[in-house]
Structure formats: C-alpha cells, structure tokens
A = this chain, B = another copy of it.
Amino acid sequence: MQALKVAMLGCGVVGTEVAARIQDRSEALAERIGAPLELSAIVVRDTAKQRPGIDPSLLTTDAEAAIADADIVIELMGGIEPAKTLIRSALDHGSSVVTANKALLAANYGELMSAADTAGVRLEHEAAVAGAIPIIRPVGDSLAGDRIDRIMGIVNGTTNYILDQMDSEGWGFDEALKTAQELGFAEADPTADVGGHDAAAKAAILSSLAFHAPVTIDDVHVEGIEDITPEMVATARDQGFVIKLLAVCERVSESPAGPGLSARVYPALLGRNHPLATVRGAFNAVFIEAEAAGSLMFYGQGAGGEPTASAVLGDVVSVARRKVLGGRGQYERPFHKDSTILPISAITTRYHITLDVVDRPGVLAAVSEVFSDEGASIELMRQTVGEVDEQGTQHAKLVLATHSNTDAILQGTVDRLGGLSVVRAVKSVIRVEGQ
C-alpha cells in the first residue's frame, strides 16, 4: 500500500520526539494504520540549525509546498499566526490536521472545527489539552450519548507542582517557583502558567467540546496563584482542604444571569478526599460529572515531549486509518452558537474568608450584620487569638466559611467586610470547589 505523506510544521521538543517515533515505530504504525507513514517534510524557520536525530534533507522553510504535497499535516508551531493560516490552508487542501496548539484552539475553536467539517476532513487536537491524557476523545465520543454537566481540571503542571510543594513541604510561592524552574517544570517567564492563562486556554477548549458551544479564552474568568501564601496553604490543610488551581467548565441551569455556561480558572479549596486532591507534582487530571455516567476522572502527565508526542501520534494514526479505510469522519455537531456564557459574578460558589480583626466585643455582630445585609450567610466561623500590635491592640484571626451564594454577593460581602472599622485586613479569600 502507498505510503501516507506527513508534513510537520515546527520542530521543537515535541516535534523532535514525534519525528523520532514515526521513524522508530514505523513498522508498528504501518500495521495499525494499514499503510506506512512517510515523514515528507519538516517546516522550520532555520534549516541550518543542528537538530540531532532529524534528517536534514526533510527540513524546509516552504510551508505551503510541504502542505500541498502532504496527506496529513501535523502543526506544532504554536501561537496564532502563521499556524492558523497554514492549518486553514491544509484543511482547504483536503488534508486532515493534527495540532497541539492550545492558544490557537482557545481563540478559534468554532471557526477551525467548522472549516474542517466543511472540508470533510478532521482537525484532531488531543495533545492540546492535558498532554498525553486521552480527554478529547472521551469527552467528544465516549460521552456523546450523555450530558456533561461539569468538568473540573488540574490542567497546568507548573502550578500544580508549585501548590503541591507549598502543601507538602511548607515552601513559599517564590521558593516553589524557583525549584520548578530549576527542574524544568516552569518557564523562565512563568506568567502564562502561574497567572492561570495556560489553564484558561484549556478550559476554553474543554468547554467548547463538552458543551458544543464556541467558548474562547476571552470568555474564561482567570485568577492565578501568585497571591497564595504559605499561611493560606496551612490554613487549608488544617481544615481538611488542599489548594489547587482548577479549571471549571460548567453547565449552569440557574443563575442571576439566567441559564448558561461558565468557564473559569482560579485557585480553590478542594476537600482532601476529592479524587483531584490526590494529584501530586506536575501531573494533570480532569474530573468530569455527567448525568448518567456520574463521576469520572482522567489522570496522567500533562506536558513533556514524549507524552505530548504520544497524543499527537494517536491522532495521526486515527486520521491515517480513516484515510486508508475511507470515510470522512465526523465532529461534534452542531455548535450552539447562541449559548450564554455567564460572568463569574453569576456563578454560585462558596468562599473561605480570613480576616484580621480587632479582638473586641461587637466584632462578630458587625461581621454578621454585613452578611445578613448582603444576603449572604455564614456556615462556619472560627476565631483565634492573634498578635498585639504596636498600638497595644489585641488582634484576632477570623476564618469564615460561607454558605453557597453568587460570586457577586460574596464579593460584595467581602468588599464591605474590608471597610469595617474592626477589620484591619482581609487576609485571604478563596473559593471552595468539589463538594
């Protein structure tokens, strides 16, 4: 049988691993597919650069020619352009495309999937979310007959490593970040990870897939972990919680803004008996609640050359098989373009609020009054004696766990608490998830 030509756009860590595996596993891949794969071109910016293990004769800067000659295109350049134009070009040319490009999909999921659908080919993207963990296929295919209500994911390894070290070793944020950088778990510029933006891209893709609606990264409410302190981590631990950066994708049937979808990323308290609480180090996991299937969890390595290459090659085998056996394949259909994506203010959640208060009679009354004024309620209150300050005033630490309410109301409550004369500082505010 004639070989299927594969053009690869980009050749970084993942690309090098993909190229190596296409060569090393050629026999096994040909068996699985029913035809051999032939790496026909690797498009790079600099063909002169030394790339160990890569056949230099495959390197080219001419992306359009490489695409025109290929049966299957693997896009591993990352970023929006030129990746988007090249993927569109490949789809229009009738080639299926495999991509790991989360930034691009998080910005243009609906548009690119429609383009693939119109062209009668596939745009596979298992590697774009949670690395090697099969999540796109389970969500898109295995649960296609069910109704997914909620996805909660630990989808960024860097932040999970940092939070895990803070929890298990008592480290501060800076120390944990520095070690993560030394171990290669964090970039020199860690903003995209610790700010929650990488997780937000994945939340957009997962929401689009699970709810058949074009959710973009701009729709995702994002808070990072930069302000998590060892004290917050210790307090969480004392109360049976662990702090995790969660990507939450939710179908909301009732909210002040009506029914709709919510996609959000923030550090949250998670009960230690929740399956996601056991996800350690740089591992990723995605927890799904579906109407009939109940609770499901998928766990594995979310990044790295080899795991990501595994996901890319699974997609390559899938589209290659379709090419050999015929059949255009199919996507999730249809997209609900009119879905309402809810603002964070409309989402129902719970807060744990830690206040530095003046330890004197009337404090609890003042705090309680704010809650009742705002329509919020306190589930649990714990006061512990704090320091005496320079003015000789005795402080206390007041930890409040709220009942469920909208984020807007809880935020309004916190704002007003901060303005009370007896409250010296709002030390921390963190949401509770997974209960």
Q: Tell me the A residues contacting B by CB distance below 8 Å.
A: 17, 21, 25, 28-29, 31-32, 34, 126, 132-134, 137-138, 141-147, 212, 275, 278, 290-301, 304, 306-307, 309-318, 321-322, 324-330, 332-334
Contacts and interface: CB of A to CB of B under 8 A. Distances in A.
Q: How many copies of this chain does one complex carry? A: 2
Q: Which 3 A-B pairs have the closest CB atoms?
A: A327-B327, A145-B313, A134-B142
Contacts of A294: 132, 300-301, 304, 306-307
A144 B296 contact: no
A292 B132 contact: yes
Given A21-B292, A31-B333, A325-B327, 14 more contacts: A25-B147, A28-B147, A132-B290, A134-B142, A137-B138, A142-B314, A143-B314, A144-B318, A145-B315, A294-B304, A296-B298, A297-B300, A324-B330, A325-B330
A295 B311 CA distance: 13
A145 B32 CA distance: 8
Given A138-B137, A327-B325, A333-B34, A300 B307 contact: no
B329 A325 contact: yes
Given A32-B332, A144-B318, A327-B326, A275 B296 contact: no
B137 A142 contact: yes
A164 to B, nearest CB: 13
User: Which residue among A25, A133, A294 has the maximum number of chain B CB atoms within 10 Å of its CB?
Assistant: A294
Contacts of A32: 144-145, 332-333
Contacts of A313: 144-146, 292
B314 A321 contact: no
A308 to B, nearest CB: 9
28 contacts: A29-B145, A31-B333, A31-B334, A32-B145, A132-B294, A132-B296, A134-B134, A134-B141, A134-B296, A137-B142, A138-B138, A141-B317, A142-B311, A144-B314, A145-B314, A145-B317, A146-B310, A290-B310, A292-B313, A293-B300, A294-B301, A295-B300, A297-B297, A322-B330, A325-B328, A325-B329, A325-B330, A327-B329
A169 to B, nearest CB: 16
B134 A143 contact: yes
Contacts of A317: 141, 144-145
Contacts of A126: 142
Contact of A292 (B34, B307, B334): B307
User: Which residue among A17, A132, A212, A334 has the maximum number of chain B CB atoms within 10 Å of its CB?
Assistant: A132
Nearest to A318: B141
A262 to B, nearest CB: 20
A278 to B, nearest CB: 5
Contacts of A212: 31
Contacts of A298: 296-299
B334 A330 contact: no
Contacts of A28: 147
Nearest to A327: B327
A32 B144 CA distance: 7
A141 B137 contact: yes
A301 B296 CA distance: 7
A310 B143 contact: yes
A358 B423 CA distance: 70
A212 B17 CA distance: 24
A32 B143 CA distance: 11
Contacts of A291: 306, 310
A292 B321 contact: no
Given A327-B322, A333-B32, A300 B296 contact: yes
Contacts of A141: 134, 137, 314, 317-318
A178 to B, nearest CB: 25
Contacts of A329: 325, 327
A224 B250 CA distance: 41
